[in-house]
Amino acid sequence: MLRFLARRLALTIPVLLGVATLVFSLIHLIPGDPAQAMLGESASPQDVAELRSRLGLDRPLLEQYGRFLRGAVHGDLGQSLRTSQPVAAAILERMPATIELAAAAMLIAVGFAIPLGIIAAVWRGTAIDYAATTLSLLGVSIPNFWLGPLLAIVFSIELGWLPVSGRGTWANLVLPAVSLGAALAAILARMTRATLLEELREQYVTAARARGASRVRAVLRHAFRNSLIPVITLIGLQFGAVLTGAVITETIFAWPGIGRLLIQSIGFRDYPIVQGCILLIAVTYVGMNLVTDLLYGLVDPRIRYE
pLDDT at position 266 is: 80
pLDDT at position 166 is: 75
In terms of Cα–Cα distance, which of 180, 192, 221 is closest to 116? Answer: 192
Between the alpha carbon of residue 135 and those of residues 117, 120, 139, 141, 227, the distances in Å are 11, 11, 6, 10, 22
Q: Tell me if 269 sits within 8 A of 38, measured CB to CB.
A: yes
Q: Is residue 306 part of a domain?
A: no
Residues 68, 101 within the same domain: no
Percent of the chain residues past pLDDT 90, beyond the cut: 0
Per-residue pLDDT, averaged over 193-221, amounts to: 73
Between the alpha carbon of residue 121 and those of residues 53, 171, 190, 191, 245, the distances in Å are 63, 34, 9, 10, 31
pLDDT at position 183 is: 80
Percent of the chain residues past pLDDT 70, beyond the cut: 87
Count of CB atoms within 10 A of residue 28's CB?
A: 11
Q: Tell me if 37 sits within 8 A of 52, measured CB to CB.
A: no
Last residue of a domain, one of 10, 43, 73: 73
Taking all residues of the chain, what is their mean pLDDT, rounded to a whole number?
A: 79
| Domain count within the chain | 2
Residues 146, 182 within the same domain: yes
Residues 31, 130 within the same domain: no
Residues 154, 262 within the same domain: yes
Q: Is residue 87 part of a domain?
A: no
Q: Is residue 255 part of a domain?
A: yes
What is d(CA 191, CA 187) in angstroms, rounded to the nearest whole number? 6
- Is the pLDDT confidence value at 244 over 60? yes
Per-residue pLDDT, averaged over 268-291, amounts to: 81
Q: Is residue 34 part of a domain?
A: yes
Residues 146, 289 within the same domain: yes
pLDDT by residue (tens digit) across 24-47?
787 677 666 667 766 777 777 787
Q: Is residue 127 part of a domain?
A: yes
Count of CB atoms within 10 A of residue 41's CB?
A: 7
Least confident residue range of 75-89, 179-193, 205-219 = 205-219
Residues 124, 160 within the same domain: yes
Q: Tell me if 20 sits within 8 A of 68, measured CB to CB.
A: yes
pLDDT band at 268 (very low <50, low <70, confident <90, very high): confident
Residues 155, 215 within the same domain: yes
Q: Is residue 86 part of a domain?
A: no
Residues 134, 11 within the same domain: no
Last residue of a domain, one of 41, 73, 105: 73
Q: Is residue 212 part of a domain?
A: yes
Per-residue pLDDT, averaged over 202-226, amounts to: 71
> What is the torsional sign of CA 150, 238, 105, 225?
positive
Q: Is residue 32 part of a domain?
A: yes
pLDDT by residue (tens digit) across 150-193?
888 888 888 888 887 777 778 888 888 888 888 888 888 888 88
Residues 143, 8 within the same domain: no
Q: Tell me if 202 sits within 8 A of 256, measured CB to CB.
A: no
Beta bridge partners, 130, equal none
Residues 44, 152 within the same domain: no
Residues 23, 120 within the same domain: no
Last residue of a domain, one of 73, 106, 134: 73
Domain limits for position 144: 94-299
Residues 238, 162 within the same domain: yes
Domain with residue 209: its CATH number is 1.10.3720.10
